[in-house]
Structure 1
Amino acid sequence: MMSDYTTDEPDREALRATPGPVVVEFGAPWCPWCQAARPRIDEAFEGSEGLTHFKIEDGKGRPLGRAFRVKLWPTLIFLLDGEEIARCVRPESAESVKQALAKIVTSG
């Protein structure tokens, strides 16, 4: 898993064409909500090191976040074979992230 947000976002069509489970996390390194959620997100992803996880720095004019209609950070989009299966917005517990993750990991 990547540890920092990147501005190098993948193409939406490339994500749709990606087989298997993928998580796209939108946020910003300076965002207090993202900083507060980081330990919960990290806990939820323990043991999932092989999972494709994109951490995208979102903001004004960033097309991928708009394509997914992201309004609050952090937002995690859980994709399976390119289709959105679940979403966590400002997760308040590791369990909520684990539940969403289980939907794409056990479904595949």
Structure 2
Amino acid sequence: MARRRDSMAVKDVTDSTFTEETKDGLVVAEFGAPWCGPCKMIAPVLEEIDEEDNQISVVQLNVDENPETAQKHSVMSIPTLLFLKDGEVVDQAVGFQPKEEIMATAQKHV
């Protein structure tokens, strides 16, 4: 289930909205923080994926402001990408990932 937005930015989620926003379809959730260099590097890559692929939704969670969800998913380093299919974690990647690798991992679960 694709979710199209009018804005160009990836959707921000919080501890209270994470479950709802990741329950349908394939979602790539980026756990990061504004001060994180690799998170800033991966942001445009995730925006491209979100805009170009209607089978994948992308959300981001600020771990400083939303520690419960990060702790629940054992996120120890940022950026961490969790690939969720209908709300269940099916894959993950830690650190900066090129677009091709993110897409290859996502395509395994579409």
TM-score range, shorter chain: 0.7 to 0.9
TM-score for the superposition, normalised by structure 1: 0.72
| Structure 1 residue ranges, 4+ long, deviating more than 4 angstroms after superposition | 43-46
CA distance in 1, matches of 2:11, 2:24: 23
Amino acid at match of 1:47: E
8 Å Cα contact 2:32-2:78 kept in structure 1: yes
TM-score for the superposition, normalised by structure 2: 0.71
1:75 to 58, 76, 80: 80
- Aligned pair count? 103
Q: Secondary structure at the match of 1:104?
A: coil
Residue in structure 1 matched with residue 60 of structure 2 by the alignment: 55
Residue in structure 2 matched with residue 8 of structure 1 by the alignment: 14
CA distance in 2, matches of 1:47, 1:7: 20
Amino acid at match of 1:59: D
In the alignment, structure 2 segments of 5+ residues that lack a partner are none
Amino acid at match of 2:82: I
1:37 to 36, 39, 42: 42
What is the RMSD computed on CA atoms of the aligned residues? 2.8
Q: 1:56 to 1:5 in 2, by over 3 A?
A: farther
In the alignment, structure 1 segments of 5+ residues that lack a partner are none
Q: Secondary structure at the match of 1:33?
A: helix
Amino acid at match of 1:3: A
- Aligned sequence identity (%): 27
Amino acid at match of 1:21: L
Amino acid at match of 1:75: T
Residue in structure 1 matched with residue 29 of structure 2 by the alignment: 24
**1:84 and 2:65 matched:** no
Amino acid at match of 2:14: D
